[in-house]
Amino acid sequence: MTDSKYFTTTKKGEIFELKAELNSDKKEKKKEAVKKVIASMTVGKDVSALFPDVVNCMQTDNLELKKLVYLYLMNYAKSQPDMAIMAVNTFVKDCEDPNPLIRALAVRTMGCIRVDKITEYLCEPLRKCLKDEDPYVRKTAAVCVAKLHDINAQLVEDQGFLDTLKDLISDSNPMVVANAVAALSEIAESHPSSNLLDLNPQSINKLLTALNECTEWGQIFILDCLANYTPKDDREAQSICERVTPRLSHANSAVVLSAVKVLMKFMEMLSKDLDYYGTLLKKLAPPLVTLLSAEPELQYVALRNINLIVQKRPEILKHEMKVFFVKYNDPIYVKLEKLDIMIRLASQANIAQVLAELKEYATEVDVDFVRKAVRAIGRCAIKVEQSAERCVSTLLDLIQTKVNYVVQEAIVVIKDIFRKYPNKYESVIATLCENLDSLDEPEARAAMIWIVGEYAERIDNADELLESFLEGFHDESTQVQLQLLTAIVKLFLKKPTETQELVQQVLSLATQDSDNPDLRDRGYIYWRLLSTDPVAAKEVVLAEKPLISEETDLIEPTLLDELICYIGTLASVYHKPPSAFVEGGRGVVHKSLPPRTASSESAESPETAPTGAPPGEQPDVIPAQGDLLGDLLNLDLGPPVSGPPLATSSVQMGAVDLLGGGLDSLIGGTNFVAPPTAAVPANLGAPIGSGLSDLFDLTSGVGTLSGSYVAPKAVWLPAMKAKGLEISGTFTRQVGSISMDLQLTNKALQVMTDFAIQFNRNSFGLAPAAPLQVHAPLSPNQTVEISLPLSTVGSVMKMEPLNNLQVAVKNNIDVFYFSTLYPLHILFVEDGKMDRQMFLATWKDIPNENEAQFQIRDCPLNAGEDSEPPTPAPRLYPGPCTDWGLPRPCDPTEAASSKLQSSNIFTVAKRNVEGQDMLYQSLKLTNGIWVLAELRIQPGNPSCTLSLKCRAPEVSQHVYQAYETILKN
Amino acid sequence: MIGGLFIYNHKGEVLISRVYRDDIGRNAVDAFRVNVIHARQQVRSPVTNIARTSFFHVKRSNIWLAAVTKQNVNAAMVFEFLYKMCDVMAAYFGKISEENIKNNFVLIYELLDEILDFGYPQNSETGALKTFITQQGIKSQHQTKEEQSQITSQVTGQIGWRREGIKYRRNELFLDVLESVNLLMSPQGQVLSAHVSGRVVMKSYLSGMPECKFGMNDKIVIEKQGKGTADETSKSGKQSIAIDDCTFHQCVRLSKFDSERSISFIPPDGEFELMRYRTTKDIILPFRVIPLVREVGRTKLEVKVVIKSNFKPSLLAQKIEVRIPTPLNTSGVQVICMKGKAKYKASENAIVWKIKRMAGMKESQINAEIELLPTNDKKKWARPPISMNFEVPFAPSGLKVRYLKVFEPKLNYSDHDVIKWVRYIGRSGIYETRC
């Protein structure tokens, strides 16, 4: 008999047929029918209509049939809760069955039926089963408590099941103990504060006894639970370690890893001078190596964990380099992980072998793997100074292969080597330059440009090389553009006579033709610097760079410690804390390693964390990418930064100099021609530092303006003012609904939850239309984007300025306040078009003193082709005038009209008077205020005139601002 | 814990779907199919996170097994469970294929209900499972109360792997020492890495609840014993081996091994893997491969490979196969070998040289001329290593079984009455020489 035939019934009317079969008198036929139902269920067909018929088959003494019916019940009970009650009687009866297998089956299945009504009936049978004489029933009932808790936690507490469960920890049967531990651990996880597991030396002792006797899975549950315990002193920690170490010889890798977790955690409490500490270290290595002969999937899990262990305690595996050599047939995910660990273990002792291997890998097929291998060679050079020379020559060999991606990767790492060992390997530059043309990846191009700029004085044709890049400047990625800008400035400072033209060219490309703010900013800074004080410029731009650190890609120490507590679990595979990928309250509790508490009297010197680099010895860290000051000093090309971006103090000093020195040496200009006056920052004479603060202020200035486009988000609440919570946002209006688009970033070290938002009363009654929905807790460095719908039915109070909005945001840490200005056009409603007659009548009706007139200057719509390009506004940051270079629509009036219409400013009429276009427009605010406008546009003249008439003249100013914003964007 | 378990065929159709937790919906089934089975790229990780749901998968022939969860589960445990699941299914109905899974889907659901409760793995020893999950489900009515409680105590008990009351007329046991020797050698003949991973597989047909004790020439044990007479230490020291690490079947008392390094256990009935071990020192490499590859111009390669057997002349190696990779642009191959047969297999991009038998301390040679099509491919040929397969009748690690003692206090048979067989087989694992 084969069951596969059940998968093949696909004809119509099948449900009807099944129904008939289910109600058949013949047992065999019934069973066949239920099997068909289950097969349909498996492939995803909806067979819930058969519910009553299937449940009718439940009353049977055929165990196989019973199990099938139960399976069906578990799937569909939720969709048919009332019908599911029909099954209760059978369950209750089965829980009394003389056969323990049937009792257990009933209690197991009942727990899987997630219907509230059923849970009430479940309590009594469950209570009996928890005290059943048969261990098989008890172990099943123990898990059932966890199931019930998941459905109705209160019920479980009220019924006292938790206490019964705790009693089961002392059960005589090891499997009952293991399941009780698993159930309790899970329940405890959702109640982090409760002292549910209440581990004490006595209960630990019981668990350790059960550990020796239960199944492999039970051992995992118990070990995972033990890992949550904190021994009271080092003696207890040692005695637990001694009883856990035999597990390292278990055939099940999960048992081994969980044992490793307990040992790694408790070792933290042991004194390093202890003999036992050394013994334990020695015992850990062999089982970890053995994990690498398991199946590839497990190898992957093991390698991800070893990566953590090696970072935490490098001494464990320092002699085991060879086992991480990549095998030709390893799956790619195993290869990449092995490579990572090889680099971490590389030391002077084994570097020769490692290099030989890496060279071998660099000729393999998988592109990702080859790249990583090439990069690894560079990292070896940086890590082991003695090997640097060999690494460089290996890289040169690889460059000779001319395989495109190998060459590019090699150039990227050579740049890092130059940073680490300045003035040592410059002889290779010539070879690098030969490959200039083959570089097509931004990172490689940027690296090459950096090298040319840095060593411009030794490369005869540096100007030619850089110039060749300049031709396609606008097609390059930002990374390359920034690097090119800096490199040319460096070149200029080194060879001022020949490269004046080049530097002017790049500065104008960066400041005038680019719409990338970073690039423009950097361009302006250089420009100002060069025009005011070339000597200072030299000091800044050609400053000696801090050396880069030896280790890269290290996991941040607190995260590493947390991950060590999660060895073997998904968190250790992802290298992320559970809060980053688990929803809801579970797993959010942060775990940390136990502190050292010695029972012995020996007062030792305060011990630093046993990682490779204690906190005090990290001078070589370069500032994080995106750090503005670091950026300006062109330090942004370094490899990924290790650890937090500390130790930038010296760099900051330089930055202050930059602005201080700039003032008193205006005469310093040798043969340098000042850039076009327009670009010279107007606030040059402003107090020191204002330039920088300007830079930082800009963001808030831009975001609050907005056109029909969504304005870039501006920082409303800086993290400094809100205990690590940073809020930025903007306002949008889309098809009649207003919303506030928020971006919340957690820059603190703790998780943030329980967000709520509230507005103060404001001029137009803006209020949140829904609560602030932040679904998951916000973990450190995480960002969420939320769109908060707004209504205009809140309470009204006139604000100064009119469009001021005061906001309060709450989270689990505190309440924070900030205020922001919203652009008025989000309040322009869709039915704001007045008919002509009405418009005329209203225009006349409104007294003339209510009329306000404004000039909109530099309106980009209106700049004719033949007219002069507008002079940039005398500001460091050109602000809204970003699209000078963009193509313009032919008819400026038409363009303006359509642009305004998309923001609900409607053109009622249009006429031409004396060569000027006049647009008559109307708009209505959410509170019913009408505003009438006359817009005068003169072809060829960049400014236009706006006359506004409104019964509430206070709004005119803000309507004008809205006009300006819309037209200029 | 595991939230759901799905089995798919190679097309991504669901064959088995069992959900244990409320947070896993039906859409998870499709998410895995779309993002992993139907993904265009090669699988880059056995763990995939899609929309905050984690999928663990293993593949057996063209069947996909996927465990799904939304929690921070013990990842190693999930994979161990999936392998175990495969073992259990194989023990019930043989090869894991679409056909077999469809034919046994009711059984699989029954097994899944038993070995995974609310996502927590339960006893999954096939020996125990087979006592109460049978393909004839009606059995339960005929069981006596004693039988039932015997089943439950076995499933939950300390010795979950063996049932009471086993009787054999002839008490017999077989020990197989199976080793796979792994090697990575540089073209110059330098050993880059070598290790032996071995398994001791026991097949026992013993009555009652026999207490067994297994002994081998483990260096640590022998040195401990040999402390009394220095003479013996030096003598046996030669024959003892250093085991880097070993793991045991769950029947072995680990605490006893940890304290006394003695391996004692009550074995499951029938075949099981008693221990696995790994050694890296003093390995006997049964074969040495000496490659010589010469590029003659751009369109021709000359390959010469010599293999040397390195063990007692009286022993015979079997099933010897040498695989010499050829470039992708090979147009023709001519081979001459001294012994055995060699063939160029275009579909595998390799020359496969097979020798049925070869005695120790011999050598043999193959010469090949490979014609290449001219290509403008810039990328150099990666030169994959030459790999080798073989089987030898000894343990390359040097492991020797010293004794296996059987005590059964209740029944009246003694250690001498048990018939014992020991066999050593050394096979090639990944045995590669770079060229």
Which residues in chain A have Cβ-Cβ distances shorter than 8 Å to B430?
Answer: 327-329
Whether the pLDDT of residue B416 is over 80: the answer is: yes
Instruction: Give kind and range of the element (H or E) at residue B216.
Output: strand B211-216
What is the reported pLDDT for A192?
67
List pLDDT tens digits, range A86-120. 788 888 888 898 888 889 999 999 888 888 878 88
Tokens matching residue B335: 């081979």
3-state DSSP assignment of residue B380 = coil
ipTM of the complex: 0.82
Any B CB within 8 A of A245 CB: yes
**d(C-alpha A392, C-alpha A414), whole Å:** 7
What is the reported pLDDT for A611?
39
Whether the pLDDT of residue B134 is over 80: the answer is: no
- Residues in contact with A467: Cβ distance below 8 Å, sequence separation at least 6, in sequence order: A502
What φ, ψ does residue A294 adopt, rounded to 5°? -80, -175
Q: Which residue of A has its CA nearest to B72?
A: A570
Burial class (CB in 10 A: 0-12, 13-18, 19+), B347: exposed
- Write down the pTM of the prediction: 0.69
Any A CB within 8 A of B154 CB: no
Contact A102 B140 (CB under 8 A): yes
**d(C-alpha A509, C-alpha A520), whole Å:** 9
- Residues in contact with A418: Cβ distance below 8 Å, sequence separation at least 6, in sequence order: A425, A426, A451, A454
Q: Which of B247, B263, B265, B432 to mutate to test the interface with A (most CBs of A within 10 A)?
A: B247
List pLDDT tens digits, range A810-868. 888 888 888 888 888 888 888 888 888 888 888 888 888 888 888 887 776 654 444 44
Structural contact between residues B198 and B399, judged by C-beta atoms closer than 8 angstroms = yes
Structural contact between residues A390 and A380, judged by C-beta atoms closer than 8 angstroms = no
**d(C-alpha A352, C-alpha A386), whole Å:** 10
Any A CB within 8 A of B253 CB: yes
What is the reported pLDDT for A438?
84
What is the reported pLDDT for A934?
86
What φ, ψ does residue A642 adopt, rounded to 5°? -95, 140
**Which residue intervals of A769-874 are DSSP H helices?**
836-845
- Average the pLDDT over B163-174 and give the result: 88
Burial class (CB in 10 A: 0-12, 13-18, 19+), A446: buried
Range name among A546-555, A733-742, A915-924, B165-174 with the lowest pLDDT average: A546-555
What is the reported pLDDT for A554?
83
Q: State how far the alpha carbon of A634 is from the alpha carbons of A472, A956, B180, in Å.
A: 21, 46, 55
Q: Which of B59, B85, B106, B178 to mutate to test the interface with A (most CBs of A within 10 A)?
A: B106
List pLDDT tens digits, range A809-822. 888 888 888 888 88
List pLDDT tens digits, range B77-127. 999 999 999 999 999 999 999 999 998 988 999 999 999 999 999 988 888
- Residues in contact with B256: Cβ distance below 8 Å, sequence separation at least 6, in sequence order: B262, B264
Share of chain A above pLDDT 90, in %: 23
Whether the pLDDT of residue A41 is over 90: the answer is: no
What is the reported pLDDT for A693?
39
Contact A217 B120 (CB under 8 A): yes
3-state DSSP assignment of residue A541 = helix
Which residues in chain A have Cβ-Cβ distances shorter than 8 Å to B75?
Answer: 301, 568-570, 572-573
Q: How far is B59 from chain A (nearest CA, A)?
A: 10
Angle at B67 between CA B61 and CA B69, to 5 degrees: 160
- Average the pLDDT over B35-52 and give the result: 87
Any B CB within 8 A of A563 CB: no
For residues A312-326, b (16+ Cβ closer than 10 Å) or e, as one string?
bbeebbeebbbbbbb
List pLDDT tens digits, range A327-365. 888 999 999 999 999 999 999 899 988 999 998 898 888
Q: Which of B14, B70, B79 to mutate to test the interface with A (most CBs of A within 10 A)?
A: B79
**d(C-alpha A301, C-alpha A308), whole Å:** 11
Share of chain B above pLDDT 90, in %: 56
Structural contact between residues A125 and A110, judged by C-beta atoms closer than 8 angstroms = yes
List pLDDT tens digits, range A783-796. 888 888 888 888 88
CB pairs under 8 A between A and B: 291
Compute how many other C-beta atoms are within 10 angstroms of the C-beta atom of residue B191. 12
Compute how many other C-beta atoms are within 10 angstroms of the C-beta atom of residue B224. 11
Q: Which residue of A has its CA nearest to B198?
A: A293
More confident residue, A333 or A12: A333
Any A CB within 8 A of B211 CB: no
Any A CB within 8 A of B397 CB: no
Among candidates B43, B16, B47, which has minimal Cα distance to B29?
A: B16
**d(C-alpha A721, C-alpha A16), whole Å:** 67
**Chain length of chain A:** 969
List pLDDT tens digits, range A390-429. 999 999 988 888 888 899 999 999 988 988 888 788 888 8
What is the reported pLDDT for A676?
43
Structural contact between residues A250 and B254, judged by C-beta atoms closer than 8 angstroms = yes
What is the reported pLDDT for A841?
81
More confident residue, B364 or B409: B364
Tokens matching residue A396: 């040169």
What is the reported pLDDT for B196?
93
Q: State how far the alpha carbon of B418 is from the alpha carbons of B162, B272, B275, B411, B415, in Å.
A: 19, 18, 21, 13, 6
Q: Which of A208-212, A371-375, A782-786, A922-926 has the highest mean pLDDT?
A: A371-375
Number of H helices, E strands in chain B: 9, 23
Whether the pLDDT of residue B7 is over 70: the answer is: yes
Q: Which residue of B has its CA nearest to A115?
A: B22
List pLDDT tens digits, range A450-466. 998 888 888 888 888 88
What is the reported pLDDT for B274?
93
List pLDDT tens digits, range A360-391. 898 888 888 999 999 999 989 988 888 899 99
What is the reported pLDDT for A691?
40
List pLDDT tens digits, range A558-582. 999 999 999 999 999 999 999 888 8
- Average the pLDDT over A125-138 and give the result: 92
3-state helix/strand/coil string of A330-351: CCHHHHHHHHHHHHHHCCCCCH
- Average the pLDDT over A192-212 and give the result: 82
Average pLDDT, chain A: 79
- The type of residue at A259 is A
Range name among A188-202, A206-220, A670-684, A888-902 with the lowest pLDDT average: A670-684
List pLDDT tens digits, range A754-775. 888 888 888 888 888 888 887 7
**d(C-alpha A675, C-alpha A526), whole Å:** 11
Structural contact between residues A772 and A786, judged by C-beta atoms closer than 8 angstroms = yes
Q: Which of A628-637, B123-132, B341-350 has the highest mean pLDDT?
A: B341-350
Whether the pLDDT of residue B136 is over 70: the answer is: no
Q: Which of B55, B118, B430 to mutate to test the interface with A (most CBs of A within 10 A)?
A: B118
Contact B47 A586 (CB under 8 A): no
B84 is in an annotated binding site: no
What is the reported pLDDT for A10?
55
Among candidates A438, A427, A347, A369, which has minimal Cα distance to A401?
A: A438
Residue B250 — pLDDT band, cuts 50, 70, 90? confident
**d(C-alpha A175, C-alpha A143), whole Å:** 11
Structural contact between residues A290 and B106, judged by C-beta atoms closer than 8 angstroms = no
Q: State how far the alpha carbon of B106 is from the alpha carbons of A32, B132, B392, in Å.
A: 11, 15, 43
What is the reported pLDDT for B328?
85
- Average the pLDDT over A111-133 and give the result: 87
More confident residue, A800 or B266: B266
List pLDDT tens digits, range A717-732. 888 778 788 888 888 8
Beta-sheet strand order (sheet of B191-205): B245-248, B270-279, B191-205, B172-185, B419-433, B386-392, B316-325, B350-359, B341-345
List pLDDT tens digits, range A583-604. 765 545 677 887 766 554 443 4
Domain ranges in chain B?
A: 4-124, 172-225+238-282+408-433, 287-392
Whether the pLDDT of residue A782 is over 70: the answer is: yes
Q: Among A215, A216, A327, whose Cβ lies nearest the Cβ of B430? A: A327
Q: Compute the Cα dihedral for A840, A841, A843, A844 and give only its sign.
A: positive
Residue A932 — pLDDT band, cuts 50, 70, 90? confident
